Chains A and B, each alone.
Chain A
Amino acid sequence: MKMEGFDEKGMVAENAPQQELPKMAQEGIHAGFPSPATDYMTQAIDLNKELVKHPAATFYGRVVGDSMIDAGVEEGDILVIDKSLEAQDGDMAVCFVDGEFTLKHLRFHEGGLTLVPANERYPSIEIGEGSDFMMWGVVTYVIKRIR
């Protein structure tokens, strides 16, 4: 197959008139012709798809207070919480301790687990056996309103 402005391989011919170049070619992407990429060109970015990997397990929470301020998490921020993820050392997680939800970094060690705030004015919380504690979900994104 040969079309005007394209050579036998579907590449843009050297003598093709500039104004007739398809957009893809102008941007230097050397795809075959017809380009399989055109199938995807109408899909706008969908933040739901990007921020929510497991819709059945994703919940949101709002930050109150400044216990994670040094990690850049401020009052009013919205947290994307994925309950499906296995908690790992260093994760920022929503935990339920002493009757309220609290946001902390998880530090696993041989004796158990420490919940570490990102603000020196707050104490770490040691989780031992028999503690009234629940790891509720792992934070995957923090959404901030700027204006």
Chain B
Amino acid sequence: MFALVDCNNFFVSCERVFRPDLEGKAVVVLSNNDGCVVSRSNESKAMGIKMGVPFYQVKHFVDEGKLHAFSSNYALYGDLSSRVMSLLADAVPKIEIYSIDEAFLHLDGIDPETVPQLCADLVAKIRKWVGVPVSIGVAPTKTLAKIASHFAKKYKGYKGVCMMDTDAKRLKALELTPIDEVWGIGRRLAPKMLEKNVRTALDFVQRPCEWVASNFNINTVRTWEELRGRVCHEEEREERRKSICTSRSFADMIEDERELVLRVSDFAAMCAQKLREEGSAAYDVTTFMYTNRFRDDLAQYFPSVTIRLDVAANSAQEIVGAALKAFRTIFRQGYKYKKAGVIVSNIIASDAIQASIFDFDDELRQKHDRLSKVMDAVNSAAEASGSASGRSMLRLATQRPGHYADGIRSDFRSRLYSTSLDDIIEIH
């Protein structure tokens, strides 16, 4: 069993933690440079504001006092995200951080009877401790867990937790799920599905496997299998996984956080080096730690967290960064650690690296492609005219970590409430 934990309208919810007056009001968060809408409260969705719409098209709502808009405040969202993830990592033995606002929990080994209560407790705890609302979908496969989480979010009656634990519930959910909302189908494949009269997820699973295989590729067959309840996503990854693991048992048990940070950084840097040596790059970075299980007298803890990168990486900077982010999510004071390690997996050839940040939205992705073309054109023109900056006249903000604040618009950015002492809330 898998659970998908999804933070509701995450960026908007983060802003509301420090602006409780905005509960129940229409709020949006804008992309870098205040370009377009990337997160919407339910109220702004109800006003007809679409995901990815350019800000200038809805700015009149702000001027009329009907809408609150925020520039993105990634320091804040990142901090609240890691708080949520650490509470999840405390609750189950294995989590997979899928994005800034989503994580899969692996529930194998947990008594199924206790799962509903465990999930309900997590929803309440994250809401109280961090202040953001989450929805949890529980199902036999990841693709079904995604669908279950949609239901948990959409219908108040679930109180944030939807258990897809019987076949009847699975079929009912599939019947109510439009085909374009299925993870792995999306807007790209939806037109072809509709052409062939597949409108819902149920229509899709009722087609024979041969039909799917002859009309679509192997990934779509896997989606079909997952919707029928057979775990595929995991197996597929295991097969393809040529993973690289660097780990050590320590001569003495280590309790000190700084010491462990150094060890984990070394392991991650070694993994990155191996990736570069073989010309590959990895999407997943896992950090794990073990206490000494032969010492009955000591408290035991075997945490493991996987970070999914938006873009496959092989630089020491990125791999170490992700490994340490995972480490900070799971590290707890008061345990004596005997072993730690870093695993990089989901490996591809490094010449096949492509940005997948915009995969969730085809419109944004096309915009991104156009942007790349513009950048290439400007850069080659600059090169041709003999400009000193030559080929790198225009770069993506992410190509220069740490320097991207220059010249980027963020007229409506909220304060760094949780990451800068100068910006903490004022209390009267």
- Partner-B contacts on A (CB < 8 A): 43, 49, 54-57, 59-65, 67, 78-79, 83-84, 94, 96, 99-103, 134, 136
Contact = CB atoms under 8 A, between A and B. Distances in A.
Interface centre among A59, A78, A84, by most chain B C-beta atoms within 10 angstroms, is A59
Contact of B425 (A55, A57, A61): A61
A55 B328 CA distance: 11
Interface of B: 20-21, 83-84, 86-87, 125, 128-131, 256, 333, 417-418, 421, 424-428
B424 A61 contact: yes
Contacts of B20: 96, 134, 136
B417 A96 contact: no
Contacts of A136: 20
Contact of A103 (B129, B417, B428): B428
Contact of A54 (B84, B129, B428): B129
A118 to B, nearest CB: 13
Contacts, number: 63
A103 B428 CA distance: 6
Interface centre among A67, A94, A96, by most chain B C-beta atoms within 10 angstroms, is A96
15 contacts: A49-B333, A55-B83, A56-B83, A57-B83, A59-B417, A61-B425, A62-B424, A62-B426, A64-B428, A84-B125, A94-B425, A99-B21, A100-B428, A101-B427, A102-B428
Nearest to A94: B427
Contacts of B129: 54, 56-57, 83-84
A50 B83 CA distance: 19
A94 B125 CA distance: 19
Given A56-B84, A63-B427, A78-B424, 17 more contacts: A55-B86, A57-B129, A60-B421, A62-B424, A67-B428, A83-B128, A83-B129, A83-B131, A84-B129, A94-B427, A99-B21, A100-B428, A101-B426, A102-B427, A102-B428, A103-B427, A134-B20
Nearest to A40: B255
Contact of B87 (A56, A60, A78, A101): A56
